[in-house]
Structure 1
Amino acid sequence: MPDRATQRFPVLVMNQISASGLSRLSAERYQVGKDVTDPAAVLVRSADLHGVTIPATVQAICRAGAGVNNIPVPAMTARGVPVFNAPGANANAVKELVLVGMLMAARHIAPALDFVAKLDGASPDLDKKVEDGKKAFAGFELAGQTLGVIGLGKIGCLVADAAIKLGMDVLGFDPEITVDAAWSLPSQVRRAGSVNEVLRASRFVTLHVPLVAATKGLVNESNIGLMRADGVLLNFSREGVVSNSAVLDALGAKELAHYVCDFPEASLLGHPKVIALPHLGASTREAEENCAVMVVDQLREYLEQGHISNAVNFPNVSMARESAYRIAIANSNVPNMLGQISTAMAAAGLNIHNMVNKSRGEMAYTLVDVDSPVTEDALAHIAAIPGVLKVRYLPVQA
């Protein structure tokens, strides 16, 4: 645990994290490195934490990206540890790659490049070979085509907007669209009532959903046949969202024209109608910097103020400081928890100045500002309440 007198937090960095983010962790308050012991927080990109012993000192895990499949989220939730990510920080990078994927499929760029690479530059009839060969790569334009967007978060909204500016018609579907996403969605996007409606009506279909139980195999053997025979399916979300066997069967039966993805799974390699990229979605300098800055700022707010934003397993919670003495409590979302916490504080002689409590599913989180310093005994008394998972004391630092 960090020293409460100085609140200098050790932060373990398990991947290469952009210096733009790490520089926001001041040396006065943070010890940052790859060999940190007893860390208060872990910063990670692709490192797989499943099967790794995560020290009991860890108070937060931060993923400098959107997906958290490499983090044991349920286990961290049970310990009262928030898992932060950076939704939308890499959205522009992914949007641009989706546009590249559509253009590669529509204009047959990959086979055309392969054709040119195999030409003999010393051949006297090079120009004739180029003119004769290019006929095999005639494509079509994006303008006037229908793009179906499944998942209308930050990335989906940006893709929809870019497609509209290219002259495409856009059909969107997201049963759990947020208010913020709805506000940012271009008005020209037509709303679909189901995944199947999008598959049936679109020349291009692009997926932008997280990999959870409800989205695993979202496009599969039972619905891929709804797509047009000249259709293009794009997957820049997660590999498991699409059934690769269903894609290969559809391509083999000429019921699908192209599959474009960011996941070069073994069964897809070498297929002439598959464009597989090596997980380049967020591989830009700008995206890496945006992700690092976003999660580091979220981590600082959590460790220093107790605020939570963009944690995949906690509610968003913030409260303006009205006292120098703050307690942050992660607890199970069960009846009478606030009553027990208030009773424990009263027994310790603590007067509650301000309090906020929010819940998300089975998890709840409480911030309390009190009017006087908090003793170790008082914190232990609160921590002993059944259902309390973690208690942190966050006094204002001099």
Structure 2
Amino acid sequence: MKTIYLLDEITEATKEKARAKGYRFADTQTPEAIFVRSKQVPDALITADLAVIARSGSGTNTINIDKCTENGTVVFNSPGVNANAVKELVLTNLFLSVRPLDKAHEVMRQIEVEIAKGNIAGDAVLAAAEERRSTLIGEELTGKTIGILGLGEIGERLAEACYHLGMDVIGYARTQKDSMYFEQTAALSELLKEADFVVVLLPLNDQTQGLINEEAFASMKPEAILLNFGRGEIVDEAAVLKALDAGRIKQYITDFPTTSVVQHPKVETYPHIGGTTVDALTAGDRIVFARMDRFLRYGTIKESVNFPEVTLPFLAPYRLTIFHKDAPGALAPLLKLLSDAAIDIAHLASERKAGMAYTIIDVAEQKMEEVQQAAAMLQEVPQVHRVRLLHNPHLDV
């Protein structure tokens, strides 16, 4: 029975499916698998026992990917599964930013007090409300310009929605996209000069950290609103607070609260809820559990962060999976070792990614002890990071 350590709670349906497949959940320092949503994965958990980390969601900045790769631990995520949820939250904030609905609700709460006191009754309620609506005049999104930084799944969906709202959409990304819904620019400063709304949807990396800095704010309109649903560190916190205080931008809306921003009157913060819908969480859990399960039972890789994609029908009694350094001729000594050990190879598949390779070798009818010895010898090869020996779950071996 394989052990899964839950760093975050997951849907009950996923738990039931895992238990039905023979997994157990335990709080242990040596799990075979970790299931996580947004919490930091401690490096101390990345041990020789840890075969897989399943991240329900897209971002992997809370996981030490380099250490996982060195350890031979595969990392799966579910990019795009929360795209619609984030898109809808951004749209909600766009609407709220141009219509003073909070103020309108406060007006009605004041009228409720007057009704309770007996000062307003009957048809006078609507008249009293209408008398105050001159202070509640908003604007429309139609005709406004939105700049979207990051044109992945979320960015493209948001661009399409804004286009249909009658907005002018400018997109910014490293790779060129072909879309009728936005004009793409390679010059960030040009986007910032034009945009009434700037939406950050970029991933965090060395190129994007601190991208929205003092220089960026100097290019923006004083009435512009900045919305950050990418990662907190992409916006220079000191710079955004300085820009707000100086009136260089109108408002900052972020899904990444910190001590400084939550206390500023021109900042609206959320507790990192961009992808937090029942639909997105359920789908994310289902997808990464399926990938984790296939890997643990069959050794196959589908859409991993750090391993190449490799699939092979499991038709033999035993399977060896080898995660090793990639180089010209890297596979030859591994195959020679198996040949010298008289291991009968039935099927083989191998792919490479970012200097590493993942090889699946199916072993024909053979004594289990011989295959175990071969696996142990493979693990001793310097360029090999991890070897796993799997028994075909559908055969009695």
Report the residue type matching 1:383 in the other structure: Q
Report the residue type matching 2:155 in the other structure: G
* Residue 142 (1) aligns with residue 138 (2): no
- CA distance 1:70–1:188, change in 2 (3 Å): closer
- CA distance 1:115–1:84, change in 2 (3 Å): farther
- Please give the residue correspondences for 1:154-173 in structure 2 after superposition, counting only pairs within 5 Å: 154-173=153-172
Pick the aligned partner of 1:95 from 87, 91, 96: 87
Counterpart of 1:245 in structure 2 is 238
* Superposition deviation, residue 394 in structure 1: 2.3
- Contact 1:13–1:32, Cα closer than 8 Å, also in 2: no
Pick the aligned partner of 1:18 from 11, 15, 31: 11
Counterpart of 1:59 in structure 2 is 51
Report the residue type matching 2:159 in the other structure: A
2: distance between equivalents of 1:319 and 1:86?
Answer: 22
Counterpart of 1:5 in structure 2 is none
Report the residue type matching 1:158 in the other structure: R
Counterpart of 1:256 in structure 2 is 249
**CA offsets per residue over residues 179-235 of structure 1, 9 Å max, x none?**
xxx5xx743322211333322232212111221222111211121221222212111
Point out the more displaced range, 325-334 or 131-140. 131-140
2: distance between equivalents of 1:396 and 1:103?
Answer: 55
* Residue 389 (1) aligns with residue 375 (2): no
2: distance between equivalents of 1:205 and 1:317?
Answer: 39
Counterpart of 1:41 in structure 2 is 33
1: distance between equivalents of 2:190 and 2:347?
Answer: 49
- Contact 1:24–1:297, Cα closer than 8 Å, also in 2: no
Identity %, equivalent residues? 32
* TM-score, normalised by the number of residues in structure 2: 0.88
- CA distance 1:226–1:114, change in 2 (3 Å): farther
- CA distance 1:377–1:212, change in 2 (3 Å): same
Counterpart of 1:80 in structure 2 is 72
Report the residue type matching 1:152 in the other structure: L
Counterpart of 1:317 in structure 2 is 310
Counterpart of 1:350 in structure 2 is 343
Secondary structure in 2 aligned to 1:365?
A: strand
1: distance between equivalents of 2:267 and 2:3?
Answer: 45
Secondary structure in 1 aligned to 2:72?
A: coil
Report the residue type matching 2:316 in the other structure: S
* Superposition deviation, residue 119 in structure 1: 5.8
* Superposition deviation, residue 136 in structure 1: 3.7
- Contact 2:162–2:169, Cα closer than 8 Å, also in 1: yes
Unaligned runs of 5+ in 2: none
* Superposition deviation, residue 38 in structure 1: 4.1
- CA distance 1:224–1:357, change in 2 (3 Å): farther
2: distance between equivalents of 1:187 and 1:352?
Answer: 51
- Contact 1:192–1:198, Cα closer than 8 Å, also in 2: yes
- CA distance 1:342–1:21, change in 2 (3 Å): same
Unaligned runs of 5+ in 1: 1-7
Structure 1 or 2: more helix by fraction: 2
Secondary structure in 2 aligned to 1:222?
A: helix
Point out the more displaced range, 215-224 or 189-198. 189-198
- Contact 1:326–1:367, Cα closer than 8 Å, also in 2: yes
- Contact 1:350–1:372, Cα closer than 8 Å, also in 2: no
Point out the more displaced range, 227-236 or 104-113. 104-113
* Superposition deviation, residue 330 in structure 1: 1.0
- CA distance 1:360–1:117, change in 2 (3 Å): farther
1: distance between equivalents of 2:294 and 2:231?
Answer: 29
- Contact 1:161–1:186, Cα closer than 8 Å, also in 2: no
* Superposition deviation, residue 292 in structure 1: 0.6
Aligned-pair Cα RMSD in Å? 2.5
* Residue 105 (1) aligns with residue 94 (2): no
* Superposition deviation, residue 350 in structure 1: 2.5
Q: Which has the larger radius of gyration?
A: 2
The number of residues matched between the two structures is 384
* Superposition deviation, residue 87 in structure 1: 0.8
- Contact 1:150–1:156, Cα closer than 8 Å, also in 2: yes
Higher RCO (CA 8 Å, separation ≥ 6 residues):
1
- CA distance 1:351–1:55, change in 2 (3 Å): same
